[in-house]
C-alpha cells in the first residue's frame, strides 16, 4: 500500500506543479512570506537592533524599566497572555517571528486553495478508477496527501532559505546560529501545523466534489475555527487554540501544541479515509 | 467437477436515487472464456462493471472476482484490469507517462512499465501520439488509450465496457483481434451493443434487462446454432417439406412467403453432429436442383436479443 501511495505521490507532485492554481497558491505564499520577512528584516536593521543595543546598555546599569523593549514586552504579554512567549518573541530576530506569523496565518488558506480538490479532482473525472484498478483506496488518499504535503514542505523550505539568505546579507549583526536554529524549529512546527490543515482539506475533498464549494467550505471552517478559539469553553476543540503554544520556548507547551495539531490531523485524515472507503467513485 | 468461475455474482443490487439500477443480478463467467455482457441502454451493465471493479458498492448481494469476494478485491487487484466507461485521464500528462505510471502502480519496474507502455501503445496505434497530453485526446484516442491501459501486463481478468464504441472499423477490428488473442490466457468480460461483434468473438453471454438477468448461456445455446439452420435459396423450390422429409435430422421446415428463405429446425440424433445434419439438408436441397445462396446456423444473437429484451 505504501509503495503504491508513494508512486501516486510522485506522479501527482509532478502533475501538481503543472497546474496553475497550485503554482499560484505556492508563489503567493512564498512571496507573502518573503515579503513580510523582508519588511521585518529592514525594521530589525533600522529599529529593533539599535533598541536592543540600548536595552543591553541600560540592563548593564541594572535598570531596564524605562527601556522601549520592556514596553513592547508588556504590550505583547497583554495581547498574548503568555509572558514566556512574549519574552521569546522579543528575543528572536523580528524577521523570524514575522515569517512564522505569516506561516501560521496564511498556510491554512494556502492549503485550502491548493488542496480543496485533493481527492475530488480524481473522483469528478473518474480518473480515480484507473488508479483503483491497481491500488487500494487508502493508497489513493495517502498518496494525494503525501504529494500535497511535499508541496507544503517545499514551499515553506524555499521561503525559509530565501529569507535566511536575505537576512544574512542585510543584517550586519546577524546571529546565524540563533536564526538557523529558530528557522529550523519553526519549519518543523510549520509541517506539523500544515499536516492538520492538509488533512482537513482531504476530508472536505472527500465530502464535496465541486472545487469552488470545497474552497468556500474550507474558508468557512477556518473562520469558524478562529471564532471558536475566542470562546474559552470551546476553544480547546479547535486547532487554532493551540497556535500560540507553537511559539512557546517551554518544550512541554510546544509539545502539547504539536501533539494537538498532529492529533487533529489524524482525526481529519481518518474521517477522509472512512468517507472515501464508503463512497462510490 | 464443476467448472471454475472467474466471476460469480449473487443477488447483486444497486440503487441510484431510489431507483434500482441493478436488481438482484446473479450470473457466472467461466474462467478462460470470452464472455459477452448484453443489455439495452440503462439495463445496468456499466453499474455491474463498476461493482465488479470495486468502484461502486452494492447495496445488497455480493460477487466473487477470481474467487475473492468484493470486500477483498485488493487481493486480486493486480490480476484484474478494466476499461471503465467515461473515465478521464490526467489532463496534464502525456499518454506515455500515464501508461508508465499505471504500469508501475501495477507492480512493474520502471523498465518493464516503459516496455509495456510501448507494446500496448503499438497495439492501439498510438505510438506516434505518445507525447500527447491526456487532456488533448479526441474521443477515439481516449478510447484507444483506455484499451491500451486495460491490456497492460498479464491480467487474469479483463473487463471491457463498450470497447469498440466510437472506434473506426479498422481499429475496432484490431481491438477484437486483441480480445480474441487473450483467449486461453485470460477471462474477458465484454459489454457491447454491437451484437454481431459479440456473437463473433464471445464463447458465451449473459443478457440483462432492467438490472436483472434475462438469460445466460453459450453462444450456440443463445443463437440456437445447434437447433436451427437458415438457408437462402437462389430460386424457390416447390414442396420443400417433401424434399427434406428424407432427412431424419429435420424436425420442422418453414419457408418465407417468397419461398427463398427456409428456416429448418433440427433434431438431435445420437451420434449425428450438427455439421453432418446441415450437410444432409444441403445435399437434399442440391439434389432437388436447388441453388444455395447462403447458410446460417442459428437465428443470430440480434434476433434472440430483440426477442428477450
Asked if residue B141 has pLDDT above 80, the reply is: yes
* C-beta atoms of A7 and B105 within 8 A: yes
Asked if residue A47 has pLDDT above 90, the reply is: no
- Is residue B104 within 8 A of residue B110, CB to CB? The reply is yes
- Looking at residue A63, what is its pLDDT? 46
- Out of B56, B81, B92, the one facing A133 most closely (by C-beta) is B81
Q: What is the pLDDT of residues A94-113, one digit of tens each?
A: 777 777 888 888 889 989 98
- Looking at residue A53, what is its pLDDT? 61
> Measured between CA atoms, how close is B216 to chain A, in angstroms?
27
Question: Using alpha carbons only, how large is chain A's radius of gyration in Å?
Answer: 21
Q: What is the pLDDT of residues A61-94, one digit of tens each?
A: 444 445 566 676 677 666 666 777 777 777 777 7
DSSP state, residue A44: I
- Is residue B225 within 8 A of residue B219, CB to CB? The reply is yes
- Looking at residue A69, what is its pLDDT? 64
Asked if residue B233 has pLDDT above 50, the reply is: yes
- Looking at residue B148, what is its pLDDT? 93
Residue A57: pLDDT band with limits 50, 70, 90: low
Residue B171 CB neighbours (<10 A): 17
* C-beta atoms of B55 and A8 within 8 A: no
- Looking at residue A281, what is its pLDDT? 86
Percentage of chain A surpassing pLDDT 90? 34
Asked if residue B1 has pLDDT above 50, the reply is: no
- Looking at residue A247, what is its pLDDT? 82
Distance from chain centroid for Cα B39 = 11
ipTM over 0.90: no
- Is residue B62 within 8 A of residue B23, CB to CB? The reply is no
- State chain A's mean pLDDT as an integer: 83
- Out of B57, B82, B105, the one facing A131 most closely (by C-beta) is B105
- Looking at residue B139, what is its pLDDT? 86
- Distance, CA of B75 to CA of B71 (rounded, Å): 10
- Is residue A178 within 8 A of residue A92, CB to CB? The reply is yes
Please choose, from the candidates B93, B230, B224, the residue with its C-alpha nearest in 3D space to the C-alpha of residue A17.
B93
* C-beta atoms of B149 and A131 within 8 A: no
Instruction: Give pTM, 2 decimals.
Output: 0.81
Asked if residue A223 has pLDDT above 90, the reply is: yes
Please choose, from the candidates A36, A210, A167, A207, the residue with its C-alpha nearest in 3D space to the C-alpha of residue A107.
A36
* C-beta atoms of B92 and A15 within 8 A: yes
* C-beta atoms of B101 and A11 within 8 A: yes
Average pLDDT of the segment spanning B213-237: 85
- Distance, CA of B304 to CA of B309 (rounded, Å): 9
Q: Which residue of B has its CA nearest to A4?
A: B105
Contacts of A149 (CB under 8 A, 6+ apart): A191, A194, A195, A198
* Interface contact A277, partner B, CB < 8 A: no
Find the farthest-apart pair of alpha carbons in chain B and give their distance in angstroms, rounded. Answer: 72
Residue B66 CB neighbours (<10 A): 18
- Looking at residue B81, what is its pLDDT? 93
Amino acid at each position: 500500500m505504501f509503495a503504491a501511495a508513494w508512486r501516486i505521490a510522485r506522479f501527482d507532485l509532478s502533475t501538481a506543479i503543472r497546474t496553475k492554481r497550485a503554482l499560484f497558491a505556492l508563489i503567493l505564499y512564498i512571496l507573502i512570506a518573503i515579503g513580510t520577512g523582508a519588511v521585518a528584516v529592514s525594521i530589525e536593521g533600522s529599529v529593533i537592533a539599535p533598541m536592543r543595543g540600548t536595552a543591553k546598555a541600560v540592563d548593564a546599569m541594572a535598570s531596564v524599566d524605562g527601556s522601549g523593549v520592556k514596553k513592547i514586552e508588556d504590550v505583547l504579554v497583554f495581547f498574548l497572555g503568555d509572558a514566556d512567549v512574549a519574552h521569546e518573541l522579543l528575543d528572536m530576530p523580528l524577521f523570524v517571528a514575522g515569517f512564522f506569523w505569516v506561516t501560521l496565518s496564511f498556510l491554512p488558506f494556502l492549503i485550502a486553495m491548493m488542496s480543496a480538490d485533493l481527492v475530488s479532482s480524481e473522483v469528478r473525472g473518474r480518473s480515480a478508477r484507473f488508479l483503483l484498478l491497481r491500488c487500494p483506496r487508502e493508497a489513493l488518499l495517502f498518496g494525494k496527501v503525501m504529494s500535497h504535503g511535499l508541496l507544503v514542505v517545499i514551499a515553506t523550505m524555499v521561503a525559509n532559505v530565501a529569507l535566511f539568505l536575505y537576512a544574512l546579507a542585510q543584517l550586519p549583526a546577524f546571529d546565524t546560529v540563533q536564526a538557523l536554529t529558530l528557522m529550523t524549529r519553526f519549519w518543523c512546527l510549520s509541517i506539523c501545523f500544515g499536516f492538520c490543515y492538509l488533512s482537513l482539506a482531504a476530508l472536505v475533498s472527500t465530502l464535496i466534489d465541486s472545487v469552488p464549494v470545497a474552497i468556500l467550505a474550507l474558508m468557512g471552517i477556518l473562520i469558524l475555527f478562529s471564532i471558536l478559539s475566542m470562546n474559552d469553553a470551546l476553544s480547546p476543540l479547535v486547532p487554532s487554540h493551540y497556535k500560540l503554544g507553537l511559539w512557546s520556548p517551554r518544550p512541554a507547551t510546544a509539545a502539547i501544541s504539536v501533539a494537538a495539531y498532529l492529533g487533529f490531523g489524524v482525526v481529519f485524515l481518518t474521517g477522509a479515509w472512512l468517507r472515501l472507503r464508503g463512497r462510490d467513485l | 467437477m464443476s467448472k471454475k468461475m472467474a466471476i460469480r455474482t449473487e443477488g447483486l443490487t444497486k440503487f441510484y436515487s431510489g431507483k434500482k439500477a441493478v436488481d438482484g443480478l446473479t450470473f457466472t463467467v467461466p474462467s478462460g472464456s470470452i464472455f459477452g455482457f448484453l443489455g439495452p441502454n440503462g439495463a445496468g451493465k456499466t453499474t455491474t462493471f463498476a461493482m465488479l471493479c470495486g468502484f461502486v458498492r452494492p447495496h445488497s448481494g455480493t460477487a466473487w472476482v477470481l474467487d475473492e469476494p468484493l470486500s477483498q478485491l485488493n487481493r486480486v487487484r493486480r490480476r484484474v484490469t478494466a476499461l471503465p466507461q467515461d473515465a478521464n485521464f490526467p489532463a496534464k500528462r502525456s499518454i506515455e507517462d500515464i501508461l508508465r505510471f499505471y504500469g508501475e502502480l501495477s507492480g512493474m519496474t520502471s523498465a518493464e512499465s516503459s516496455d509495456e507502455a510501448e507494446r500496448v501503445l503499438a497495439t492501439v496505434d498510438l505510438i506516434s501520439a505518445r507525447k500527447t497530453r491526456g487532456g488533448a485526446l479526441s474521443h477515439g484516442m481516449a478510447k484507444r488509450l483506455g484499451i491500451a491501459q486495460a491490456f497492460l501486463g498479464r491480467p487474469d481478468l479483463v473487463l471491457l465496457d463498450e470497447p469498440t464504441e466510437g472506434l473506426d472499423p479498422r481499429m475496432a477490428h484490431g481491438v477484437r483481434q486483441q480480445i480474441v488473442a487473450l483467449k486461453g490466457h485470460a477471462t474477458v468480460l465484454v459489454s457491447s451493443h454491437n451484437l454481431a461483434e459479440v456473437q463473433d468473438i464471445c464463447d458465451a453471454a449473459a443478457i440483462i434487462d432492467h438490472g436483472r438477468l434475462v438469460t445466460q448461456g453459450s453462444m450456440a445455446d443463445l443463437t440456437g446454432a445447434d437447433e436451427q439452420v437458415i438457408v437462402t435459396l437462389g430460386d424457390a423450390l416447390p414442396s420443400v417439406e417433401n424434399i427434406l422429409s428424407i432427412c431424419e435430422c429435420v424436425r420442422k421446415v418453414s419457408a418465407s412467403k417468397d419461398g427463398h428463405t427456409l428456416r429448418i429446425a433440427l433434431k438431435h440424433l445420437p451420434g449425428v453432429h450438427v455439421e453432418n445434419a446441415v450437410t444432409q439438408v444441403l445435399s437434399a436441397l442440391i439434389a432437388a436442383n436447388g441453388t444455395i445462396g447462403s447458410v446460417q446456423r442459428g437465428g443470430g444473437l440480434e434476433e434472440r436479443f430483440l426477442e428477450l429484451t
